[in-house]
């Protein structure tokens, strides 16, 4: 059974940092891309960033470029989303998702999803 489990969310002040983790299990993900998405209250879920599991540079949406970084630990089947300089507009539920082969910004292409982790940026 494929599972993606996010963790690391919480409450942080503006300008602060959080690191989200996404642990993947249940199959081999060597040819899978992992994407991060978020859904703010009253808004549609949107692409944040993504990376093919083994190759290529991460892709980020413009609003997080220079602040968010995706990394991975292949041995632990874990992908991270380091979020710096957080702002109130980053408040959302953050999801990781996995799809075969290359990264994509299209949610419909992702086969597996985690349950989400809440990130709240507030003073």
Beta strands in 3-64 (DSSP E): 3-7, 10-12, 18-25, 32-39, 46-52, 59-60
Tell the burial category of 103 from Cβ atoms under 10 Å away from its Cβ (0-12, 13-18, 19+). Answer: buried
pLDDT value of position 1: 82
What is the distance between the alpha carbons of residues 112 and 105, in angstroms, rounded to a whole number?
Answer: 14
pLDDT value of position 74: 82
What is the distance between the alpha carbons of residues 74 and 94, in angstroms, rounded to a whole number?
Answer: 21
Per-position pLDDT tens, the chain of length 123 = 889 999 999 999 999 999 999 999 988 887 889 999 999 999 999 999 999 877 778 999 999 999 999 998 888 999 999 999 999 999 999 999 999 888 899 999 999 999 999 999 999
């Amino acid at each position: 059974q494929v599972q993606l489990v996010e963790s690391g969310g919480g409450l942080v002040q503006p300008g602060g940092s959080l690191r989200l983790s996404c642990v993947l299990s249940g199959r081999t993900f060597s040819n899978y891309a992992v994407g991060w998405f978020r859904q703010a209250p009253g808004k549609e879920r949107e692409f944040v960033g993504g990376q093919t599991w083994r190759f290529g540079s991460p892709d980020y949406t413009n609003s997080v470029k220079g602040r968010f970084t995706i990394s991975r630990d292949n041995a632990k089947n874990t992908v991270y989303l380091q979020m710096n300089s957080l702002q109130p507009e980053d408040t959302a539920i953050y999801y990781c998702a996995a799809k075969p082969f290359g990264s994509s910004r299209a949610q419909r292409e992702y086969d597996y999803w985690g349950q989400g982790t809440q990130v709240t940026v507030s003073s």
